[in-house]
């Protein structure tokens, strides 16, 4: 019995010594701090402008169902060289616009190619849900992978306001300036063909994409290109409290999930908190909402706010005011 105990002790000691030796050899995992965002933006913007200056685009029909009807048009990029030397660069295209976004005291530039603004009635906000097809690609092809890192040839819903929705900031901030489709036709095979849909290409710096966080097929600090077709927009009220989520952006930074949008400090941002001031009265009972035109899109003028104690703070954000307004 003592021999067994002794053997076990020896084995345990050897395991511990090996583990310590391995840690000593490895020196621990090296922690690499992220690059300075301002400096990286300068690098990314130079790379984006070089790409825009040296490339042109063409539009190609996309056939999803192997029939004679194209579901939409997508972009294809090529280098201005050789037989293509006479092509107009993307940078010189009259359809190219820029949009400035400031985050953490760094001003970023999005380059947006407006292929079709869209003919629907509504633009999505930064917190809405959108039905899209898209293709995401890198500026230049890595040695071991393809330029295209993600795509959806059939329409998918993107929740622009939720981190689970998967929409990075450059994607979201470009899409909000476009509209959905004017009309659609239900085909006999179950597919849908949209007309008058929004169609754009956004060229974004890594600071409005994944920055220092690698993703499958996307190296760190990668500027990205997304060609997006926008078909439908659903206004989103994530917590169903009567307030569209975009109106729960208290600090006005166009991001609804940060701590500055958490009125009661319960670590639940207002857009997913149905009692924003934690006073025991639900937010939906402290405001009155009237969708007067029944279009499913609530505008600020269709909401009545109250301030019972006259302190300048709306009831649904003021724990001192808790009277029910919709009895």
CB 60 within 8 A of CB 74: yes
CB atoms within 10 A of CB 245: 28
- pTM summary value: 0.85
DSSP for 2-54 reads: HHHHHHHHHHHHHHHHHHHHHHHHHTSPPP-PPPPHHHHHHHHHHHHHHHHHH
Start-end of CATH 3.10.50.40 domains in the chain: 37-234
Which of 200, 212, 216 shows the shortest CA–CA distance to 110? Answer: 200
* Token pair belonging to 112: 């947006």
In this structure, the strands spanning 148-159 and 183-186 are unpaired
* Token pair belonging to 7: 């053997």
**For residues 53 and 25, what is the distance between their CA atoms, to the nearest angstrom?**
48
Q: Which fold has domain 37-234?
A: Chitinase A; domain 3 (3.10.50)
Biggest CA-to-CA distance, the chain: 88
* 327 residues of the chain, pLDDT tens digit each: 443 433 444 344 433 444 444 444 445 556 678 999 999 999 999 999 999 999 999 999 998 887 777 889 999 999 999 999 999 999 999 999 999 999 989 999 999 999 999 999 899 999 999 999 999 999 988 776 689 999 999 999 999 988 776 689 999 999 999 999 999 888 777 778 899 999 999 999 999 999 999 888 899 999 999 999 999 999 999 999 999 999 999 999 998 988 899 999 999 999 999 999 999 999 999 999 999 888 889 999 999 999 999 999 999 999 999 999 887
Q: Would the CA dihedral through 81, 87, 89, 92 be positive or negative?
A: positive
């Amino acid at each position: 019995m003592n021999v067994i105990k002794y053997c076990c002790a020896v084995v345990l000691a050897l395991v511990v010594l090996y583990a310590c030796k391995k840690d000593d050899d490895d020196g621990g995992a090296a922690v690499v701090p992220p690059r300075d965002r301002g400096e990286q933006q300068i690098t990314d913007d130079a790379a984006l402008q070089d790409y825009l200056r040296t490339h042109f685009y063409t539009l190609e029909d996309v056939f999803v169902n192997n029939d004679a009807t194209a579901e939409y048009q997508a972009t294809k990029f090529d280098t201005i060289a050789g037989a293509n030397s006479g092509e107009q660069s993307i940078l010189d295209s009259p359809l190219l616009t820029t949009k400035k976004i400031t985050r953490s005291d760094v001003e970023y530039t999005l380059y947006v190619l407006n292929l079709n603004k869209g003919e629907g009635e509504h633009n999505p906000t930064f917190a809405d849900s959108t039905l899209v097809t898209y293709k995401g690609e890198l500026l230049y092809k890595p040695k071991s992978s393809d330029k295209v890192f993600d795509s959806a040839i059939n329409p998918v819903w993107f929740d622009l306001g939720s981190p689970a929705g998967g929409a990075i900031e450059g994607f979201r901030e470009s899409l909000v300036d476009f509209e959905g489709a004017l009309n659609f036709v239900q085909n006999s095979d179950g597919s849908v063909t949209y007309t008058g849909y929004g169609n754009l290409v956004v060229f974004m710096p890594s600071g409005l994409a994944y920055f220092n966080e690698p993703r499958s097929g996307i190296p760190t600090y990668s500027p990205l290109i997304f060609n997006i077709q926008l078909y439908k927009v659903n206004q989103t009220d994530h917590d169903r409290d009567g307030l569209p989520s975009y109106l729960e952006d208290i600090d006005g930074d166009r991001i609804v999930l940060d701590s500055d949008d958490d009125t009661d400090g319960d670590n639940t941002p207002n857009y997913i908190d149905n009692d924003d001031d934690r006073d025991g009265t639900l937010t939906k009972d402290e405001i009155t909402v009237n969708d007067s035109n029944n279009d499913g899109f609530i505008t600020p003028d269709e909401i009545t706010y109250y301030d019972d104690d006259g302190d300048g703070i709306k009831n649904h954000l003021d724990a001192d005011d808790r009277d029910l307004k919709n009895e």
